[in-house]
Structure 1
Amino acid sequence: MLTKSDCHLSFLSDQELSDSLTITRIELFVIPALAVDSSGYRVCLRMLSNKGVGWGEFFAPESDSQIDLKQWSEPLRQFVGAFTDSASLYDSLLPAHVDGRLNELFCTAIDDLLAHTDNPTFIEGNTEETVLKNRSVAYVSIH
């Protein structure tokens, strides 16, 4: 399990959040693996914010019965909103009893997002979302 002490928000500093980080939407996608010899799924988290888009993902074997996007979406709701300093964001990390892969996805997406704050990536239209949703076997949007 990933806990607060294990989460390394390597790019996060109070200076970077001086303008506030506002997470407007979190999307979870479960996409079948593309490789012919792979049986499993890519579990992807896409975070949309005022500073751009962040991305996290992991591979889950086909036999993984722990992935329940409806159950996962409830604890992720707390991350939608404005964070004015690193402490408020850090304090929002998921408790230890929640599947640790959620914190891993979230931390990876935040690191990805803040690594590109000098050159933010904003989504033009819904092209990326449409492609991901069409390939997904499961999808949840939290906003």
Structure 2
Amino acid sequence: MRFEHLIQINEEGNPLAIALTADQLWQGLVHRARSPQDFMEQVESVRILHQEDGYFEREMLLGRLRVVDHVTLTPGRRVHYDTQPSDEHGGGSLTLTIEEPQPGALFLRVVYETPLTQTPGMGEQDDGYYIDYVKAAYRQNDIDTVRRIRQLAHAGLLG
């Protein structure tokens, strides 16, 4: 399954939204990659297995689930996660790209690529509901990520 959506970061005319700079958004995305437990309460531990310039491999434990991600950083622009498949997890990828079509007009493009297709034992109609549910969960997680980045920025933790 491929799922792509766009989140508007700065909303002109909305006094309730904490505006972010491109650098703050970038720092927030890197923080999410290096410290996912600050964004997802179910993460019990994180360990960096390997690190190079612009790349690292991390292991996350979520209860009994072990997830290994290969994370590639394109400074100021993109974070790409390539998740290894395992017996418990199908793997896939996630790409978060900062877009700024004009100064101050920030967007976050989110692209998921997963092996999710048809679920054994379910009919096409059930599959449609399931896939819609997964997409809604992904979208909400991404909105929560941006909300958390705003909190970190407001607290002065993102420059």
Q: What TM-score bracket applies, with the shorter chain setting the length?
A: 0.3 to 0.5
TM-score by length of 1: 0.37
Q: What TM-score results when the alignment is normalised by the length of structure 2?
A: 0.35
Larger Rg: 2
